[in-house]
């Protein structure tokens, strides 16, 4: 398993696996219930992770210059 595949699995683990442990309203973060904030945080992290995957591929000559 390459590093980029492990990175690709991270959003699945964080978003789906994590929700079971954070299913509560408080503390509010950025005005949102904690469980909603958790999902939103992982949406943003997904974007950053895919940027990293692109960069890794770019070094292999396969990715897009961003």
Binding site for other proteins (CB under 8 A): 8, 11-12, 15-16, 19-20, 23-25, 28, 30-33, 35-36, 39-40, 42-44, 46-47, 49-51, 53-54, 57, 63-64, 66
Residue 19 structure tokens = 């929700």
Shortest Å distance, C-beta 53 to other proteins: 6
CB 49 within 8 A of CB 11: yes
Shortest Å distance, C-beta 26 to other proteins: 9
Shortest Å distance, C-beta 13 to other proteins: 11
What single string gives the DSSP state of each residue in 16-54?
Answer: IIHHTT---SPSPBTTB-HHHHHHHHHHHHHHHHHHHHH
């Amino acid at each position: 398993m390459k590093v980029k595949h492990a990175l690709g699995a991270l959003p699945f683990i964080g978003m789906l696996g994590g929700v079971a442990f954070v299913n509560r309203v408080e503390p509010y973060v950025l005005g949102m219930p904690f469980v909603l904030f958790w999902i939103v945080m992982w949406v943003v992290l997904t974007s950053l992770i895919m940027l990293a995957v692109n960069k890794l591929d770019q070094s292999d000559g396969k990715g897009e210059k961003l």
